[in-house]
């Protein structure tokens, strides 16, 4: 039950993936795909710090590119 609540806010949607506080990737994916991307970046051996933020659809105005999965 707690696991279900933890993923409740991360259903398919628009996410901003921030790598090392200065590299931004915008992705339109589901929760599992975003978490897989996060894991790959963290385990790459480059000591990346990765954050994932769910955005609202109104945030499309400020985005110049989006990755789809």
Among 15, 10, 8, which residue's Cα sits nearest to residue 69?
Answer: 15
pLDDT for the residue numbered 23 = 81
pLDDT category of residue 5 using cuts at 50, 70 and 90:
very low
Q: Is the pLDDT of residue 8 over 60?
A: no
Among 2, 27, 32, which residue's Cα sits nearest to residue 13?
Answer: 27
pTM above 0.85, yes or no: no
Among 12, 54, 49, which residue's Cα sits nearest to residue 32?
Answer: 12
The residue with greater pLDDT, 5 or 57, is 57
């Amino acid at each position: 039950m707690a696991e279900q609540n933890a993923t409740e806010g991360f259903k398919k949607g628009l996410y901003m993936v921030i790598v090392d506080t200065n590299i931004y990737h915008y992705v339109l994916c589901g929760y599992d795909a975003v978490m897989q991307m996060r894991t790959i970046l963290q385990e790459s051996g480059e000591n990346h710090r990765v954050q994932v933020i769910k955005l609202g659809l109104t945030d499309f105005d400020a985005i110049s590119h989006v990755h789809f999965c």
